[in-house]
């Protein structure tokens, strides 16, 4: 099995550029009434974490908060789903609505296609990216229950495989899933993975944030359980670090 490596810096810079361009607005953007946005709010979930955890100076408590933030941080991808002021509608049907816009870095022109649709229970979003007049590639796919009880965002790197000619990006995905029950308890996962059987996934986070502020984090690298952390409603917690020949454990107090 081959192991994935973390994204190259040039690709990360490209992603950040796309986020900045897609979020750019002016005083006369397309009518917001034309668009449906994800209702998921990362900050609302982070606000559930107890001050005793977020204000702790303990290095493991701080790592715990960082992992929760990483698992929840879909903002870079969600922001790219914002339709910018220069977008034009290219298709409007009873079942869906598609808009497009372009951006150039001076060497290449990129066209984005944003489509929204819905059924009785879910909202759906898709984005595609096109280089010049070439093939369109999947870019972002997302869905959310209309009652806000769960959803998914998938960032697809096949466009990067085509653009950079890198096999490591073929069928590679960043996938975010979340659900919330009627009591306000959240469950999340973030997976950096591939559908190619020749590759191990790079990493995974699994997070629980309960309505009372308690929760847990599990972190996996290359199919191996690496960390488990949990904390109570006061922010006091414990950690387990899984090693090849055993474990290390410890605790922290609420701040």
**CA proximity to 221, closest of 246, 242, 241, 201:** 201
pLDDT digits (tens, 9 = 90+) for 241-254: 998 788 999 999 99
Q: What is the mean pLDDT of residues 80-109?
A: 79
Residue 184's contacts (CB-CB under 8 Å, 6 or more residues apart) are 48, 210, 211
**CA proximity to 136, closest of 152, 106, 166, 159:** 159
First-to-final CA distance of the chain = 43
- For the whole model, what pTM was predicted? 0.80
Residue 185's contacts (CB-CB under 8 Å, 6 or more residues apart) are 208, 209, 210, 211
pLDDT digits (tens, 9 = 90+) for 1-59: 444 444 544 454 455 455 445 444 444 445 555 667 888 888 889 999 999 999 999 99
Say if CB 98 and CB 90 are below 8 A apart: yes
Residue 93 pLDDT > 50: yes
Q: How big, in percent rounded to 5, are the helix, strand and coil portions of the chain? A: 20, 45, 35
What's the confidence (pLDDT) of residue 34?
63
Spans of all domains in the chain: 42-252
Whats the size of the chain, residue-wise? 255
Calculate the CA 75 to chain-centre distance. 7
d(CA 77, CA 174): 10
Calculate the CA 206 to chain-centre distance. 13
What's the confidence (pLDDT) of residue 50?
97
């Amino acid at each position: 099995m081959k192991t994935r490596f973390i994204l190259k810096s040039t690709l990360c810079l490209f992603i950040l550029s796309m986020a900045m361009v897609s979020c750019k607005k002016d005083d006369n953007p397309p009518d917001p009434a034309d668009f449906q946005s994800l209702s998921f709010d990362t900050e609302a979930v982070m606000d559930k974490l107890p001050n005793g955890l977020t204000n702790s100076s303990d290095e493991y408590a701080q790592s715990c908060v960082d992992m929760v933030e990483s698992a929840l941080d879909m903002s870079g991808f969600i922001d790219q789903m914002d339709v910018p002021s220069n977008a034009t509608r290219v298709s409007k049907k009873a079942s869906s609505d598609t808009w497009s816009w372009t951006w150039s870095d001076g060497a290449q022109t990129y066209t984005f296609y944003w489509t929204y649709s819905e059924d009785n229970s879910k909202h759906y979003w898709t984005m595609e990216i096109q280089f010049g007049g070439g093939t369109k590639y999947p870019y972002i796919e997302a869905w959310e229950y209309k009652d806000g009880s769960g959803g998914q965002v998938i960032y697809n790197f096949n466009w990067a495989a085509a653009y950079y000619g890198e096999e490591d990006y073929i069928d590679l995905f960043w996938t975010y899933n979340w659900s919330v029950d009627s009591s306000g308890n959240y469950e999340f996962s973030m997976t950096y993975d591939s559908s190619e059987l020749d590759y191990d996934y790079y990493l995974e986070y699994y997070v629980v944030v309960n309505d009372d502020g308690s929760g847990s984090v599990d972190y996996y690298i290359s199919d191996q359980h690496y960390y488990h952390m949990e904390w109570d409603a006061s922010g006091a917690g414990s950690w387990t670090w899984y090693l090849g020949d055993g474990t290390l454990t410890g605790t922290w107090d609420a701040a």
